[in-house]
Amino acid sequence: MRFYRGVHQFYCGIDLHARTMYLCLMDQHGTILVHEGIACQPQAFLRLIQPYRDNLVVCAECIFCWYWLADLCAQHNVHFVLAHALYLKAIHGAKSKNDAVDSEKLCTLLRGGVIPQAYVYPPRLRATRDLLRRRLFFTRKRAELFCHIENTFHQYNLTRPAGAMRTPKHRARLAAAFTDPVVRATIEADLALCAVFDQRIKTLEKTVEQHARSQEPSALALLRTIPGVGPILGLTILYEIDTITRFPSVQDFSSYCRLIKPEHSSDGKRLGTGGAKIGSAHLKWAFSEAAVGFLHRNPRGQAHIKRLRKRYGKGKALSILAARLGRATYFMLKHKRVFEMDRFFDS
């Protein structure tokens, strides 16, 4: 957890919403100077903070609509701090909670140097990262349709025609396997949506690849040396990380990727683990996919996972492999070195 320790003359905490925002602005002695709600309009915000802009820091909670406020502060040279929502127990655990109280607590925590920071993702990469996330959303929706088709075959105790379901030429035979016209209509509806998702996913992938070439070509080339990591998976990892220098250590990186479980202990006694949802769910997914792809046509990888399965079981074995791939990725990007199979298995 990183805290913002900057010292300023004025501090501003904002309880941000989609259409409104409630501001609490105080000086370094804790005297409240402004405490009111306004519309989410850039000019209204700039007009309110105008008398205090010379040495001001602004803080808002990390919710879905923070982009415009961070960009606005950057354009006008105002310090901006993004507060990590899951760490703000002083707000979420309060007995009394409303916009005025929340904004004042944010401002007080900011002034006291105990605001847990979240990463302010740079605007130049933000759109491509969000497009990759949208592509993943469509891919998962298509997978749900595949699962529904598979389950329908099981419901009627039928054998699905051979071939990969994601291949259009094999899908054409799926609906014909059912004699009931109503069931056939259900399968055809699923297949029609799959075709739409196919086209949309291909279009998004083409757009991503066209706009990603100018960002970090060397880093992407390094990631693609990992067996099983293709262009889209490599871009997903790269854009979710942004820059590896923002992680002081490999432990920080692994924790952010949800590849390790933080330990809770007190008085020398282990109390278990926690914080499983703190970190990037997208990087957790990416390295889990990379672990599965790593095993494809990789005899050394298959032999390694076989040993892990005997000791830990299938699920934990894949998690261990994903964590090791995460560590390898950190050092590859930090030292700008390609993936080395011998080094990976010897470490």
Q: For the segment 186-234, what is each residue's pLDDT rounded down to a tens digit?
A: 999 999 999 999 999 999 999 998 887 655 678 999 999 999 999 999 9
* Residue 213 confidence (pLDDT): 63
Kindly list the domain boundaries of the chain, sorted by start residue: 3-116, 124-215, 220-264+275-346
The CATH class for the domain spanning 3-116 reads: alpha beta
pLDDT at residue 136, as a whole number: 96
Write down the pLDDT at residue 170.
84
Tell me the per-residue pLDDT of 170-189, one tens digit each, with 9 for 90 and over. 888 899 999 999 999 999 99
Half-sphere exposure of 151 (CA within 13 A, CB side): 8
- Residues 7-26 pLDDT 10s: 999 999 999 999 999 999 99
pLDDT at 148 over 90: yes
Say if CB 257 and CB 249 are below 8 A apart: no
